[in-house]
């Protein structure tokens, strides 16, 4: 199937009214999702935008012809005309918003991380389950054509049993370190990689985590606890050993890659090239890099919201849900503990008595 099949397959009945989706959080990622909801998904409309920062929701809504802009998020969640909600606000607000949406009976897509503690994750999961609403979390790489194809090959047995895995994320630029909470590299960046590693090692679960991290991009922020470079090793219950690594600043662009090595072969994912253009000159061979996540994962970002809205319309479970969010969070929290205690941490240490 085409990696680009916008609108194929998941066709809304053309007579049914479009699914009305509300967006919470009109920042960078929120704005992208807003445009997707407003313009890229047939059978879906952006019904409302809410953001507490004055004017932010209004500007985005106006740009996209969305009728409703709010500074009060609760009003959006209480709106009975909203069929589903997309949460793209700061991470610390996620769990409560998921709970609130679920209690309002509204299916909810939540950007990663869904929660910052296991207790909060459990609360969010419980609320969605009780309400019987879909809960999807923004692990967009699962919807990328290359990562998806890798999983398909793994499911088909082409790799055999995974033995060594790797996932990495390198963001292009660390803009303002003062605004980044200390453990962000694990809780917000590497959480993608922790999910990817689970996705690419199907059926296996992490059991032990060992992490090293440092402030190498901005050593002047080390004292404030900011970690901008990290390498994490994970042992899975099928024996596989995995590494996840992240940096907040790759001067060449946005770099996301994956690799699964197993008893039957290997698959690799990730290509930093912006296009299929290659240039040859006196200085050698050259190609441009991808700079932004919204370029590299454009189609994946659209596909995850399509899948979410499809699941809402079809009344089926979300493809990547609260349990996945919790599992990735547990690895992130274990990595935090490994850094603070300077030793490997077993996942079961994190679970209460």
Say if CB 237 and CB 346 are below 8 A apart.
no
Q: How far is the CB of 351 from its own copies (least distance, A)?
A: 20
Residue 320 Cβ vs its own copies, minimum distance, rounded to whole Å:
19
Tokens, residue 115: 């929660």
Q: Which of 140, 163, 189, 196 touches its own copies (CB under 8 A)?
A: 163
Identify the helix (H) or strand (E) that includes residue 57: helix 56-64
Site for its own copies in 116-145 (CB under 8 A): 145
- Confirm or reject binding of residue 14 to its own copies (CB under 8 A): yes
Work out the number of other CB atoms within 10 angstroms of the CB of residue 253.
19
Question: Distance between CA 260 and CA 275 in Å, rounded?
Answer: 25
Please report how close the Cβ of residue 163 comes to its own copies at its closest, in angstroms.
Answer: 5
- Alpha-carbon distance 128 to 104, whole Å? 10
Site for its own copies in 18-57 (CB under 8 A): 35, 38-40, 42
Considering only residues 282-301, where is the footprint of its own copies by CB under 8 A? 282-289, 292, 294-295, 298-299
Q: Which residues, including other chains, have CB under 8 Å from residue 314's CB and lie 6 or more apart?
A: none
Q: Which residue among 23, 272, 312, 328 contacts its own copies (CB under 8 A)?
A: 272
Number of residues that bind its own copies (CB under 8 A): 91
Judged by CB under 8 A, the residue of 113, 253, 321, 322 near its own copies is 253
The whole-angstrom separation of Cα 184 and Cα 339 is: 13
In this structure, what DSSP letter does residue 103 have?
H
Taking the complex as a whole, the smallest distance from the CB of residue 26 to its own copies amounts, in Å, to 16
Span near its own copies by CB under 8 A; candidates 85-93, 120-128, 182-190, 207-215:
207-215
Contacts of 26 (CB under 8 A, 6+ apart): 34, 49, 50, 51, 53, 56, 57, 59, 60, 88
- The C-alpha atoms of residue 306 and residue 46 are separated, in whole angstroms, by 13
Which residues on neighbouring strands pair with residue 208, listed in sequence order? 235, 346
Residue 172 Cβ vs its own copies, minimum distance, rounded to whole Å: 10
Q: Scanning the structure block, which residue is given the tokens 């054509």?
A: 145
Of 130 and 214, nearer to its own copies (C-beta) is 214
Closest contact distance (angstroms) between CB of 39 and its own copies is: 4
- Compute the least distance from the CB of residue 205 to its own copies, in Å: 16
* Minimum CB distance to its own copies smaller for 221 or for 292: 292
Task: Identify which range of 19-27, 98-106, 162-170, 322-330 contacts its own copies by CB under 8 A.
Answer: 162-170
Among 52, 221, 274, 327, binds its own copies (CB under 8 A): 274
Binding residue (CB under 8 A) for its own copies from 75, 224, 273, 316: 273
Report if residue 59 touches its own copies, rule: CB under 8 A: no
SS3 177: helix
208 interacts with its own copies by CB under 8 A = yes
Question: What are phi and psi for residue 189, nearest 5 degrees?
Answer: -95, -65
From 74-82, 87-95, 226-234, 319-327, span contacting its own copies (CB under 8 A): 226-234
Under the binding rule (CB under 8 A), the answer on residue 235 touching its own copies is: yes
Rounded to a whole number, what is the distance in angstroms from the first to the last CA of the chain? 47
Which residues are CB-neighbours of 121 under 8 A, at least 6 positions away? 95, 114, 115, 322, 325, 326, 329
**Is residue 249 part of the contact set for its own copies (CB under 8 A)?**
yes
């Amino acid at each position: 199937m085409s990696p680009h099949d916008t609108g194929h397959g998941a066709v809304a009945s053309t007579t049914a009214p479009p699914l009305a989706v509300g967006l919470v959080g009109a920042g960078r990622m929120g704005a992208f999702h807003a445009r997707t909801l407003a313009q890229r998904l047939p059978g879906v409309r952006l019904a409302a935008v809410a953001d507490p920062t004055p004017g932010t929701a209004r500007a985005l809504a106006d740009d996209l012809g969305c009728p409703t802009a709010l500074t009060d998020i609760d009003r959006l969640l209480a709106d009975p005309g909203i069929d589903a909600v997309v949460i793209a606000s700061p991470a610390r607000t996620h769990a409560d918003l998921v709970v609130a949406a679920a209690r309002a009976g509204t299916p909810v897509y939540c950007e990663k991380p869904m929660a910052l503690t296991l207790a909060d994750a459990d609360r969010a999961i419980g609320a969605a389950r009780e309400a019987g609403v879909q809960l999807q979390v923004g692990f967009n790489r699962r919807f990328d054509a290359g990562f998806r194809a890798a999983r398909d090959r793994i499911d088909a047995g082409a790799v055999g049993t995974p033995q060594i895995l790797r996932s990495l994320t390198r963001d292009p630029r660390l803009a303002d370190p003062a605004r980044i909470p200390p453990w962000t590299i694990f809780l917000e960046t590497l959480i993608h990689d922790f999910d990817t590693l689970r996705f690419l090692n199907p059926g296996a679960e992490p059991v032990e985590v060992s992490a090293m991290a440092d402030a190498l991009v901005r050593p002047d922020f080390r004292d404030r606890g900011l970690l901008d470079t990290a390498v994490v090793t994970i042992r899975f219950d099928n024996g596989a050993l995995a590494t996840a690594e992240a940096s907040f600043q790759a001067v060449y662009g946005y770099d996301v890659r994956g690799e699964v090595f197993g008893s039957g072969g290997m698959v690799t994912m990730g290509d930093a090239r912006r296009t299929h253009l290659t240039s040859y000159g006196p200085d050698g061979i050259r190609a441009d890099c991808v700079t932004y996540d919204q370029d590299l994962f454009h189609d994946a970002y659209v596909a995850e919201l399509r899948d979410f809205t499809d699941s809402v319309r079809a009344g089926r479970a979300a493809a990547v849900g609260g349990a996945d969010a919790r599992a990735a969070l547990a690895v992130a929290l274990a990595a935090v503990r490994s850094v603070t205690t300077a030793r490997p941490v077993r996942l079961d240490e994190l679970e209460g008595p």
